[in-house]
Amino acid sequence: MIALESLSVLFNPGTPDERAAIKDLSISVPRGQWVSLIGSNGAGKTTLFNAIAGSVSPAAGRVIIDGLDRSRDAEYLRARFVGRVRQDPGGGTAPDMTVMDNLALASRKGARRLLPAKPRALKLLLKERLAELGMGLEERCDENVSRLSGGQRQALALLMAAFTKPAVLLLDEHTAALDPRNADIVMELTRRFVRGYGLTAMMVTHDMRRAAAEGDRLIMMHEGQIVADLSGQEKKGLSVEGLVRLFKEVRGHEYAEDRDLLS
């Protein structure tokens, strides 16, 4: 469960460049819910994730994770229960470390009690997890991650963020830099992890098809606020066309040719 209470984030406060990136935003995401998050460039999606992960400090408001106020916890502390995958396949992994060492590092976070304490048993389990990616990475445990393809690295980054069962998994356009085939593979793995582990997840995407198809709930942000919040049957019945219409209503005439949104 994650709840944001009256959250505000200000950049350059008190200067002529002051900018409110998040404005008095409140939302509660129950355990196991998967939220698709959309919004135009600069809407505040990444800033929202930064505030949840603790990489920016809110000017006001609280971040509650699994019932506890984490607003004052440092980013490295929150990393134990906040999993994160970004757009850049290089970002989530350490390129000069081996596949196994990357995974071992990730295994020190999250629900460690669920993992074996003995190194040999842990290694076996991590190898099994790698095999489940279906990319043959279990045969490449001792290779440096820099030798993997973009799709393989992003799959590994996703595995590293998800397998310790974080309280919340934040996916920020995590398939956007991949070719269509790898994007589909990583999305399928996302489904498997989020549903298989029962994770609470928030996924930013600019892809309206994915936003409509994936997840239990759809949230649209605009200028630092939530402007649409659909779940249940409303979300299930959402078509790409319906979503584009909603997007246009919110954003007005200044943006949004259909082809931009559908590209």
Ligand X SMILES: Nc1ncnc2c1ncn2[C@@H]1O[C@H](COP(=O)(O)OP(=O)(O)OP(=O)(O)O)[C@@H](O)[C@H]1O
Residues lying near ligand X in the complex (CB under 6 A)? 11, 19, 21, 39, 41-47
Residue 192 backbone dihedrals phi, psi, to 5 degrees: -65, -45
Q: Least distance in Å: CB of 131 to Mg ion?
A: 33
Min separation Cβ 168 and ligand X, Å: 17
Q: What distance in Å separates the CA atoms of residue 57 and residue 53, rounded to the nearest whole number?
A: 10
Range 58-87, binding Mg ion (CB under 5 A): none
Kindly tell me which of 11 and 197 has the beta carbon lying closer to ligand X.
Answer: 11
Least separation in angstroms between CB 154 and ligand X: 17
Element (H, E) at 126: helix 119-132
Which residue among 46, 71, 175, 205 contacts Mg ion (CB under 5 A)?
Answer: 46
Strands of 225-231's sheet, edge to edge? Answer: 82-85, 168-172, 201-204, 34-39, 217-222, 225-231
In terms of CB distance, is 47 or 152 closer to Mg ion?
47
21 binds, among ligand X, Mg ion, none (CB under 5 to 8 A by kind): ligand X
Q: Which residue's beta carbon is nearest to the bound Mg ion?
A: 46
**CA 243 – CA 37 distance, rounded (Å):** 12
47 is a site residue for Mg ion (CB under 5 A) = no
Radius of gyration of the chain, Cα coordinates, nearest whole angstrom:
19
